[in-house]
Amino acid sequence: MRAIEPRRYVVYVAFLLILAFFAATLSDDGFLSEDNLLNIVRQTTPVTVMAVAVVFVLSAGEIDLSLGSVVALSALVTAEVMKTQSAVLAVAAGLGVGLATGAVNGLFVTLLRLPSFLVTLASLGIVAGLARTITDLRSVAVDDQSFIDIFGSGDVGPIPSLAFWALGAVVLGHFVFRHKRFGAHVVATGDDAGAARATGIRVDRVRFAVLVLSGAAAALAGILYTGRLEAATYTLGEQDLVTVIAAVVIGGTRLFGGEGSVVGALIGSLIMGTLTNGLILWGLSTSEQLIAQGGLLLLAISLTLREPRRELA
Amino acid sequence: MSAPLVRIEGLRKEFRAVVAVEDVTLEVSPGEIVALVGDNGAGKSTVVKCIAGVHAPTAGRILLEGRAVEFSSPLDARSQGIEVVFQDLALASAQPVYMNMFLGRELVKGPLRRLDREAMAAETKALLDGLDVLVESPHRAVRDLSGGQRQGVAIARAMYWAQRLVLMDEPTAALGVAETRRVEEQILRMRDGGRAILIVSHSLDQVFRLAHRICVLRRGRQVGIRRTSETTGDEIVAMITGLRDAD
């Protein structure tokens, strides 16, 4: 029998408790209304998409700090290109920003053997600067209706199209992470790179791939923001890095590699989104929300992440 | 004894300005156990890593069944039927036992090539049971196992995959008396299965129990090779410490 780890289920219980808490305290403010619940799904989709990729990144023992700035640059590039070109080309250009940034990050990490923390810290600055430069801090509006329907406010029946993006990312991510050899190699690389290499896993290829994946996911998130807001601006994604990493880590992925959960990351993302939503309905100001979120994050990670003390092996 | 399975000729390995191994020549035949002994820093592990494809030799040749081979990675060596049990075991500690058993060579099923976790776990259980490695479940994480169990897993993995040659770097260094006995029985079983075995060990008692021949290294140089049946512990110690000159 597989041992049951209670820590694994804490996150699900926490999610239900938070839902129940807001449902009880905010029942008059429409917290449980269909509109509001769908809103939570819409608002969390970009974070969920990035969280799925970050499960791979953290599990492989890497980190990608450039996420937030890639969101902004890819959003702006998509919107800019759409002014003169087709939406398809614009989306491709936006995704290209993410793939290129991820590839550059990956090359520095694998070829020059630099820590991803520092490489992506540098690219965070470069990409954020580019995002501010290309439109001179101006927002760019988008009016292609089919683009907006697919990537933003459209619905399929009663379900927002954004929910399909989140669901698609989670299903595909979970399948690859849990059921494909690549997922196993990612986890082994983050667990013990030396052991992984000795058993023939191409560790550098894994590292490169997860960084490209996270660049692509951040770019998609930027495109999804652009669709929902019908405009792109350089501040998109600015606050997302912390939210994404919090979601992933609350969801049971080890910050230092070797273990991860895509489904957990989805729940983590929903927890973060539900908190924000509930705090807004409570009437907290943006600054108060930050304080409350920080406090709750500390509480959450204290409950879920505290490493059990292990005897020295 | 049959023709050598592996032969290394004039092996030399430098790390920048340091010569770790110079001019080692050695062969191992199928069904034979050869021990590599020497003090710390004598170059034993380096020799093993060169054969395993971890290091590329600076000079010298490695012949497998008479054909010169060059391994650019451990994967190359593995594909030629060479397995290594490393001193640090090369086990990923947060992963379950069955995953470690198949790391880098996972079993897949179906058109989507999904990981076949059930098959890997079942195969692992059968293998460990057959070797008397006592592990409660193949689903246990390696970090939850004792040192002896981990060693058992590492050796079982080598036995499972090794077609021809098994390299062992201090396989019992971290083990107690009973666990050491069990691992030695597993080593003898691999030998009886016709595999060639090159073992690095600090324990001369163990070397005399297991090996047919003993190769002594000192400061990267080969001091000499003795048949176990024709030498004594005193002679080997003298060769290791330098009281006795190289052949």
DSSP string computed for A18-79? HHHHHHHHTGGGTTTSHHHHHHHHHHHHHHHHHHHHHHHHHHTT---TTHHHHHHHHHHHHH
pLDDT (tens digit per residue) in A218-255: 999 999 999 999 999 999 998 899 889 989 988 889 88
Closest approach of A173 to chain B, Cα-based (Å): 13
CA pseudo-torsion sign A159, A165, A171, A172: positive
User: Are the Cβ atoms of A194 and B95 closer than 8 angstroms?
Assistant: no
Give residue B232's pLDDT band: very low, low, confident or very high (50, 70, 90): very high
Tens of pLDDT along A179-190?
999 999 999 999
Buried-exposed string B122-147: b where 16+ CB fall within 10 A, e elsewhere: ebbbebbeebebebeebbbbbebbee
Cα B115 to chain centroid, rounded: 28
Distance from C-alpha of A54 to C-alpha of A245, rounded to nearest angstrom: 7
Q: A112 to each of A97, A127, A210, B16, B160, how far by Cα in Å?
A: 22, 20, 17, 19, 36
Instruction: For residues A263 and A166, give the distance between their C-alpha atoms in angstroms, rounded to a whole number.
Output: 11
Q: pLDDT > 90: what percent of chain A?
A: 65
Contact B103 A196 (CB under 8 A): yes
Average pLDDT of the residues in A19-38: 87
Tell me, what's the pLDDT at B233? 92
pLDDT given for residue A212 in this prediction: 98
Question: What's chain A's length in residues?
Answer: 313
Question: Model confidence over B143-186: pLDDT tens digits?
Answer: 999 888 888 888 888 888 888 899 998 888 877 788 788 888 88
Chain B positions touching A259 (Cβ under 8 A) are 94
Sorted by where each starts, the structural domains of chain A and their CATH numbers stand as 6-305 (1.10.3470.10)
Mutate to test the interface with B, among A58, A181, A256 (most CBs of B within 10 A): A181
Domains of chain B, each with CATH number or no CATH: 6-96+165-241 (3.40.50.300)
B115 and A197 within 8 Å at the Cβ level: the answer is: no
A172 interfaces chain B, CB cutoff of 8 Å:
no
Residue A115 has what pLDDT?
A: 96
CA atoms of B245 and B227, how far apart (whole Å): 18
Q: How confident is the model at residue A285 (pLDDT cuts 50, 70, 90)?
A: confident
What ipTM, to 2 d.p.? 0.81
CB contact under 8 Å between A200 and B140, yes or no, is: no
Q: What are the chain A neighbours of B139 within 8 Å (beta carbons)?
A: 1-3
B162 against B57, higher pLDDT: B57
DSSP A307: P
What share of chain B has pLDDT > 90, as a percent?
58
- The answer to whether A44 touches A52, Cβ cutoff 8 Å, is no
CB contact under 8 A, A258 and B94: yes
Say if B162 is an interface residue toward chain A (CB within 8 Å).
no
Alpha carbon of B30 to those of A143, B17, B65, B196: distances in Å?
Answer: 74, 36, 10, 4
The answer to whether A54 and A233 have CB atoms below 8 angstroms apart is: no
Angstroms from A62 CA to nearest CA on chain B: 16
Whether A118 has a pLDDT exceeding 50, the answer reads yes
**pLDDT number for residue B172:** 84
Angle at CA of residue A87, ends A85 and A91, nearest 5°: 110
Which chain A residues touch B106 with a CB distance below 8 Å?
A: 181, 184
Specify the DSSP class assigned to residue B136.
Answer: S
DSSP character string of B81-132: TEEEE-TTTT--TTSBHHHHHTTTS--EETTTTEE-HHHHHHHHHHHHHHTT
> Which of A191, A255, A256 has the most B C-beta neighbours within 10 Å, making it the best mutation to test the interface with B?
A191
Subunit contact A195:B104, Cβ cutoff 8 A: no
Least CB–CB distance from B108: residue in A1, A181, A191: A181
Confidence (pLDDT) at A13: 85
Whether residue A191 and residue B92 make contact (CB cut-off 8 A), yes or no, is yes
* Residue A198 to residue B74, Cβ atoms within 8 A: yes
Q: Are A93 and A78 in contact (CB under 8 A)?
A: yes
Q: Measure the CA–CA gap between B174 and B148, rounded to whole angstroms.
A: 8
HSE-up of residue A296 (Cα within 13 Å, Cβ side): 22
Whether residue A309 has pLDDT greater than 60: no
Q: Residue A1: closest CA among chain B residues belongs to which residue?
A: B137
- Residue A311 pLDDT > 80, yes or no? no
Contact B94 A259 (CB under 8 A): yes
Structural element, H or E, at residue A113: none
- Residue A306's pLDDT is 64
Reference A118, options A127, A110, A109, A126; nearest CA is: A109
Crossing angle for the helix pair A34-59 and A161-179, nearest 10 degrees?
Answer: 30
Q: Tell me which chain B residues have a C-beta less than 8 angstroms from the C-beta of A197.
A: 74
Lowest-confidence segment of A25-34, B36-45, B106-115, B188-197 by average pLDDT: A25-34
Beta strand B213-218 with B33-37 is parallel
Q: How far is CA A11 from CA A18, A24, B228, in A?
A: 10, 20, 61
Rounded Cα distance between B84 and B70, Å, is 17
| pLDDT score of B88 | 67
Q: How far apart are CA B172 and CA B150, in angstroms?
A: 11
In DSSP terms, B216 is beta-bridged to B37, B224
Write down the pTM of the prediction. Answer: 0.87
**Which residue is listed with tokens 């290209």?**
A96
Alpha helices in chain A (DSSP H): 6-25, 34-59, 67-84, 87-111, 116-134, 145-151, 161-179, 181-191, 193-198, 203-229, 240-250, 262-281, 286-305
A181/B113 CB distance under 8 A? yes
Least CB–CB distance from B104: residue in A200, A310, A313: A200
Least confident of B20-24, B48-52, B85-89: B85-89
CB contact under 8 A, A258 and B92: yes
pLDDT of A28 higher than 90: no
Q: How far is B185 from chain A (nearest CA, A)?
A: 24
Pairwise CB contact (< 8 Å): B115 & A184: yes
| Residues of chain A with C-beta less than 8 angstroms from the C-beta of B142 | none
Predicted confidence (pLDDT) at residue A1 exceeds the cutoff of 60 = no
Cα–Cα dist B214/A49, whole Å:
59
